[in-house]
A and B are shown apart, each in its own frame.
Chain A
């Protein structure tokens, strides 16, 4: 990597009672890089992300931000550093319009009064740079499609000019077309020099946009892969922890059937 990482995690551990949810977890995020964080259910992806986002501060380990060690103990700390998180449930207010949602909690004001004109203008600029297509910035979020809502939620995370964006399963509930829209948006985040952590279960999506893939298994790192020099099979065997698993057996069976034909 030519540039030094913007965010570095070293030896992050987290216990919940008797459960060691995260053990010696390492991760680097560079500017302009999409890092996919993959792993089975319960592998510790959410715990890792929550420790970065300040929701569940880690018990041990060092988080380094732009070369300096930092403590992230509250969501607010993460936001102040420049880490934005888009959770799976989006947390949009359906009754408010797109502009109001984008600026919720950090409204622009003029003489102490909401500056709708400037918010409108900034919202349009932002959506345009990201090539986000929504019918109008003044319609309630309720009338947007799932993909549009996801893009609005991602756009909202960019209002505070973050340097790292964490996307938790952004394509989970989306159709083909909408998934493509969101993946386009992820690529645009990379073009703008942001570091992106993408959590996903969908190998096709991961292989489509990620530069590097960090695999987690049972709360630990289980390998880092460069997208250009790896295969889906390799990643899947890292996720499941063995070259012999339900997934590989199924694939082998399929291959045999193909060859038989």
Chain B
């Protein structure tokens, strides 16, 4: 609906087309349409807030509050070094959270991703380090393993009809058992620092140009895509985003991108892990919003019967989404193994599962299906990562950390539920 605010080519209103003589105007006068200009923006924003379309606003506020609080309590929190470390630390959690976002879009849950991430890290470590398999091949096998695990769970959910909650709960235990089996008597396998998995995590491009060029390329792509889209829309005589709005959006994104690049360059430079994470986010965001497959995921999450009647293969969408969750769990597990340079019996355990689900939900993806973006994985992982990093700096004990992280998750779900209720009342859900 955002695009409908555009001014039509002939200066006409939102209908975007000259109404045929005698035809009823296509726009209902009762509809609240954004007016042009800054005032229109503010009005639209207020209306969205009132009707519960919060989007990523709560999580952005949360990041600002968390950073302000920890920054004022301890100056090292906002140091370039800590923020750079944070940008690497969120990658493992964030990658797994992307898979959770896909599953949540269907309105389902995957409780096995923690175990799957540990299993895949163990597969890589045992194949490569203990058995001397080529490291690229071992990496491929580990990630394919994650995809296969997801497919198996998806099969039991989509074809057999077992609730996803139960399938993945069983999987959580079973895959953890398989990981212990794979690790065998060795218990812990250390991954040497020259291994590709360690390098994926620890490589940092020290040249300041790397971060700035990445930021510039990202901003440039966004601007080009927006302008091309607006151009095509103008030609097709459908409403398009006004140039002023495109410029404004580009400026905001550019400010964020170059500020991040500047901070990273203040310390060591652009971490490879962060770069890969961002590329994966952009690619999967594209898949979700711009491809038929992505549209089908949203359709199944919105109305299963409607999707089926439209000729969408619901079992295929479900199985593939669970496979994506497994794949992303494997990728995340590899990054986490690279971070601690080992795969051990505790890999993928602890509060990892809680953190990734929290990240996806805190980032603004609805638990009720059909609403969300992959970017919530980044934002949510940033919130969770910031809280952990801040509390570690402050020397807060694990006990307290768990309680606080749990409260933040609850708060996020409360916001989700309340905004859904408001949306229903405002006729938006």
Partner of B307, one of A104, A113, A140: A104
Chain A residue at minimum C-beta to C-beta distance from B312? A105
The interface residues of chain A lying within 8 Å CB-to-CB of B4 are 136-139
The interface residues of chain B lying within 8 Å CB-to-CB of A114 are 290-292, 295
A128 and B23 contact, CB distance less than 8 A: yes
A94 and B303 contact, CB distance less than 8 A: yes
Chain B residue at minimum C-beta to C-beta distance from A101? B306
B306 and A104 contact, CB distance less than 8 A: yes
Scan B62-106; emit 1 where CB is below 8 A from any A CB, else 0. 000000000000000000000000000000000000000000000
Instruction: Give the shortest distance, in Å, between A107 (CB) and chain B (any CB).
Output: 5
Instruction: Give the shortest distance, in Å, between A135 (CB) and chain B (any CB).
Output: 4
The interface residues of chain A lying within 8 Å CB-to-CB of B199 are none
Count CB-based A-B contacts (< 8 Å): 118
The interface residues of chain A lying within 8 Å CB-to-CB of B311 are 76, 79, 105-106
The interface residues of chain B lying within 8 Å CB-to-CB of A4 are none
A-contacting 9-mer, from B26-34, B35-43, B337-345, B376-384: B26-34
Instruction: Give the shortest distance, in Å, between B14 (CB) and chain A (any CB).
Output: 7
Distance of A140 Cα from B429 Cα, bound (Å): 8
B429 and A117 contact, CB distance less than 8 A: no
Distance of A145 Cα from B299 Cα, bound (Å): 20
B206 within 8 A of A: no
Partner of A142, one of B301, B312, B427: B427
The interface residues of chain A lying within 8 Å CB-to-CB of B370 are 93-96
Distance of A139 Cα from B239 Cα, bound (Å): 13
Instruction: Give the shortest distance, in Å, between B164 (CB) and chain A (any CB).
Output: 19
Instruction: Give the shortest distance, in Å, between A180 (CB) and chain B (any CB).
Output: 13
The interface residues of chain B lying within 8 Å CB-to-CB of A95 are 298, 301-302, 369-371, 429
Scan B350-380; emit 1 where CB is below 8 A from any A CB, else 0. 0000000000000000000111000000000
Scan B207-250; emit 1 where CB is below 8 A from any A CB, else 0. 00000000000000000000001001100111000000000000
Distance of A118 Cα from B20 Cα, bound (Å): 20
Interface residues of B in 1-52 (CB under 8 A from A): 1-4, 14, 16-17, 20, 23-24, 26-28, 30-31, 33
B3 and A138 contact, CB distance less than 8 A: yes
Interface residues of B in 134-192 (CB under 8 A from A): none
Scan A186-221; emit 1 where CB is below 8 A from any B CB, else 0. 000000000000000000000000000000000000
A15 within 8 A of B: no
Instruction: Give the shortest distance, in Å, between A214 (CB) and chain B (any CB).
Output: 25
Chain B residue at minimum C-beta to C-beta distance from A132? B26
Supposing A95-B371, A114-B292 touch, asked if A121 and B23 sit within 8 A by C-beta, the answer is no
Listed residue (A93, A100, A133) with the most chain B CB atoms within 10 angstroms of its CB? A93
The interface residues of chain A lying within 8 Å CB-to-CB of B426 are 143
Supposing A96-B302, A114-B291 touch, asked if A104 and B310 sit within 8 A by C-beta, the answer is yes
The interface residues of chain B lying within 8 Å CB-to-CB of A96 are 295, 298-299, 302, 370
Supposing A114-B295, A138-B2 touch, asked if A143 and B312 sit within 8 A by C-beta, the answer is no
The interface residues of chain A lying within 8 Å CB-to-CB of B429 are 94-95, 142
The interface residues of chain B lying within 8 Å CB-to-CB of A75 are 309
Interface of B is mostly: loop
Distance of A138 Cα from B292 Cα, bound (Å): 17
A117 and B17 contact, CB distance less than 8 A: no
The interface residues of chain A lying within 8 Å CB-to-CB of B369 are 95
A120 within 8 A of B: yes
Distance of A136 Cα from B15 Cα, bound (Å): 8
The interface residues of chain B lying within 8 Å CB-to-CB of A124 are 16-17, 26, 238
Partner of B31, one of A93, A113, A135: A135
Partner of B238, one of A90, A120, A140: A120
Distance of A255 Cα from B229 Cα, bound (Å): 66
A134 within 8 A of B: yes
Distance of A137 Cα from B299 Cα, bound (Å): 17
A97 within 8 A of B: yes
A97 and B1 contact, CB distance less than 8 A: yes
The interface residues of chain A lying within 8 Å CB-to-CB of B26 are 124, 127-128, 133-134
The interface residues of chain A lying within 8 Å CB-to-CB of B302 are 93-96
Partner of A104, one of B30, B299, B301, B428: B299
Closest 6 CB pairs of A and B: A105-B310, A93-B302, A95-B370, A91-B306, A135-B31, A95-B302
Some 20 contacts from A to B, beta carbons below 8 A apart, are A91-B310, A92-B306, A93-B306, A94-B370, A96-B370, A114-B290, A114-B292, A117-B238, A120-B236, A121-B237, A131-B23, A133-B28, A135-B28, A136-B4, A137-B4, A138-B3, A142-B427, A142-B429, A143-B426, A143-B427
- Chain A residues near B (Cβ < 8 Å): 75-76, 79, 87, 89-97, 100, 104-107, 109, 112-114, 117-118, 120-121, 124, 127-128, 131, 133-140, 142-143
Instruction: Add 11 more A-B contacts to A87-B309, A90-B306, A138-B2 (CB < 8 A).
Output: A91-B309, A92-B303, A93-B306, A93-B307, A104-B307, A109-B292, A113-B290, A117-B236, A136-B14, A139-B1, A142-B423
